[in-house]
Amino acid sequence: MKQTLKLSLTALAAACALAACKQETSTPATSAASGSAANTAASAAAKDASALGTPEQQASYAMGIDIGRSFKKMKEQGTNIDIKLFTQAIEDVVSGKETRISEQQANEIMMAFLQKEQAKAQAAANKDSQAELAKAQAFLKENATKEGVKTTASGLQYKVIKEGTGKNPKPDWMVSVIYTGKLTDGTVFDSNADAKEPMAFPLPVMIKGWQEALPMMKEGAEYTLYIPPELGYGDAPPPNSKIPKNAVLIFDVKLAATGEMPKDAMVGLPQGQ
C-alpha cells in the first residue's frame, strides 16, 4: 500500500500542475483570499519552527503545507479534494489498517482522475489560445491602418523609425541588436535596452518574423516590428515566459551591426524556427 500512496501523491501533484499551468505562466491577480494566504505564509516564516517539535514533526508539517498548496490550486481550478478522506487514507496505510479500496482500485481511480484533470487543463488551454488568437487578429487588422505601418505578404507588420546607412544582413549572417520585446498590452517580456553593448544572434535561429524583418534593415536602422503568431512563437511560447500562446510580439529593434557568421556559431543550435 505504500506504493499506492506514492502513486496517489505523484498523480495528484501532476494533475495539480496541469490544472494550474495557466495561472503559473502569468502574473496572478492578488485577491483577498490569496493575500490572506500570503500574509499567513509570511507570518509563519517569522515563527520558530522548533515550536512544532522534532525535526520529523517539522518535516511533517512542511509536507502538509506543500500538499495543501497543491490542493488549494486544484480547488481554484474547480477540483475539490475531500481532506477528511485523504487524511483517513494516510492514517489507514500508516497504521496498517485495511484500506477501503484495493491497491488496484486506487491505481485505476487515480489514472481516471489524472486523465480527467489533463483533459480539463487542455480544454482550458485551448480556449485561452483561441481567445488570444482572435485578439491578435483584431490587433493586427487595426494596426495595419495606422500611419507608417507596412504589411508584408507574410503578414509581418513593421514601422520604420529610422533608416540605416550600413549593410543589410544576409539570411545566414550574425546580427548585433539592441531590442525590447513586448506584448500588445505593453508587458515587456525581453529586452537588452539597458545593456552597454548590443547582443549578437545568428539570424537563422531567430523566429521567422526576425528572419524576414532584419534583412530589410541596414546597419543603424531602427524599426518597430509587429510579429503575428505564425511568425513568432505561435501556440508554443518559451516555457515560464510572459508570452501567452498565439500572441502578437512587438519588437523595437536597432540593428547595430551585421556580418558573416563564424564557422562554429551554429554548432548545437536549432535552425529554422
- DSSP codes, 76-105: HTT----HHHHHHHHHHHHHTPPPSS-HHH
| Cβ-Cβ contacts under 8 Å for 199 (sequence gap 6 or more) | 176, 177, 178, 179, 192
pLDDT digits (tens, 9 = 90+) for 87-122: 999 999 999 999 999 999 999 999 999 999 889 888
Q: Residue 260: helix, strand or coil by DSSP?
A: coil
Query: Which regions of the chain are under pLDDT 50?
Result: 1-11, 14-42, 44, 267, 271, 273
> 2-19 and 55-76 helices cross at what angle (nearest 10)?
40
Within 13 Å, how many C-alpha atoms sit on residue 131's CB side?
A: 7
The grid coordinates listed for 52 are 512544532
Concatenating the DSSP letter of every residue in 189-251 gives: EEE-TTSSS-EEEEGGGS-HHHHHHGGGPPTT-EEEEEE-GGGTTTT-PPTTSSPPTT--EEE
CA pair distance 217, 97, nearest whole angstrom: 73
Q: What is the CA radius of gyration of the chain?
A: 26
- Report how far apart, in Å, the C-alpha atoms of 50 and of each of 3, 40, 47, 69, 155 are: 31, 18, 9, 22, 62
CA pair distance 64, 79, nearest whole angstrom: 18
What domains appear along the chain, each with residue ranges and CATH number? 2-131 (no CATH), 151-259 (3.10.50.40)
CA pair distance 198, 192, nearest whole angstrom: 7
If phi > 0 it is left, if psi is from -120 to 50 it is alpha, else beta; for residue 241 that is: beta
CA 230 vs. chain centroid, Å, equals 18
Concatenating the DSSP letter of every residue in 152-176 gives: -TTS-EEEEEE---SPPPPTTSEEE
CA pair distance 236, 143, nearest whole angstrom: 24
